[in-house]
Amino acid sequence: MHMSTSRLPQFARQVTQQAPVVVSFFGDSITDVDRFPGGYGGASCREAHYAQVFQRLVCREWNYPHVLVHYFGISAQNTYEGLGRIHLLETVKPNLTVVAFGANDLAHHTLPPAGTAHALELIFQRVRGSLGSEVVAMAASTGGPLSEFWPIVEPLFTAQRTICAQQEVPFVDTHTELLRRVEAGDDWLRYFPSQDDCHPNDEGHRLWGEMLFQTVKAEVEAEVTATA
């Protein structure tokens, strides 16, 4: 009897059966890649971007070369503004959509945490319903503990975690992992160019890509175990 607890059963079946899979990365400036020269979301080159890190790890783990990545990032957009362009993802028919908003909810185009949660809920519903795509969410990337926005970041992350749990969307909590590392003696500036810059450097993108991969891998393993 199939009793899978995986939240990504479709993706799991595709990679384990060596079927081609399309992954769309949908977010703000950190996912804004290839729209203009030198635009890699804070990474030094396209290959260092977290989506490429994730793609390489998937290919290596399952000896699987059929992962096609598409970028749908626009700088300075908050989570709500992303709703207005979900239809663009229809052009690539993604099997998995990685949602990565939040930094601009704190600044530029401010949203209250409840607004972020509601916008995410609508994004999840439309990605699953209209596109037929499974979905994973990344924690927002914010400035560091010495940035001006630090006092207001926790309500944003709480809103993201809560709505992901309610909607059964895997949540890649890079924020909590960064805090754990800093509290253990690591340097925030290992992952970001400054305390005020929310764009990860190459090391930050490597962390994002690896944590995304580990989250997805756990979902694949849950499906494989259930169908064994």
DSSP secondary structure string, 115-145? Answer: HHHHHHHHHHHHHHHTS--EEEEEPPP---T
Render pLDDT for 190-223 as a digit per residue (tens, 0 to 9): 999 999 999 999 999 999 999 999 999 999 999 9
CA distance 62 to 178: 28
Q: What percent of the chain has pLDDT over 70?
A: 99
CA distance 225 to 210: 22
The CA-based dihedral angle spanning residues 177, 163, 128, 36, taken in that order and rounded to the nearest 10 degrees: -50
pLDDT attached to residue 227: 86
Render pLDDT for 13-28 as a digit per residue (tens, 0 to 9): 999 899 999 999 999 9
**Which amino acid, one-letter code, is at 137?**
A
201 C-beta neighbours (distance < 10 Å), count = 18
Reported as a pLDDT band with limits 50, 70 and 90, residue 2 is low
Confirm whether pTM is higher than 0.85. yes
pLDDT attached to residue 34: 83
Buried b / exposed e over 63-101, threshold 16 CB at 10 Å, is ebeebebbbbbbbebbbbbbbeebeebeebebbbbbbbb
The CA-based dihedral angle spanning residues 12, 52, 113, 188, taken in that order and rounded to the nearest 10 degrees: 120
Residue spans per domain, the chain: 9-222
pLDDT attached to residue 39: 86
Render pLDDT for 99-144 as a digit per residue (tens, 0 to 9): 999 999 998 899 999 999 999 999 999 999 999 999 999 999 999 9
Is 3.40.50.1110 the CATH classification of the domain at 9-222?
A: yes
pLDDT attached to residue 72: 97
Phi first, then psi: give them for residue 67, nearest 5 degrees: -110, 115
Q: What mean pLDDT value characterizes the chain?
A: 95
Reported as a pLDDT band with limits 50, 70 and 90, residue 3 is low
Is the pLDDT higher at 34 or at 78?
A: 78
pLDDT attached to residue 35: 85
Mean pLDDT of all residues in 133-160: 95
Render pLDDT for 54-84 as a digit per residue (tens, 0 to 9): 999 999 999 988 899 999 999 999 999 999 9
- Give Cβ neighbours of residue 121 (< 8 Å, ≥ 6 apart): 163, 166, 167
CA distance 184 to 181: 5
CA distance 218 to 228: 15
pLDDT surpassing 80 at residue 1: no
How distant is the alpha carbon of residue 52 from its chain centre?
12
CA distance 178 to 111: 23
pLDDT attached to residue 104: 95
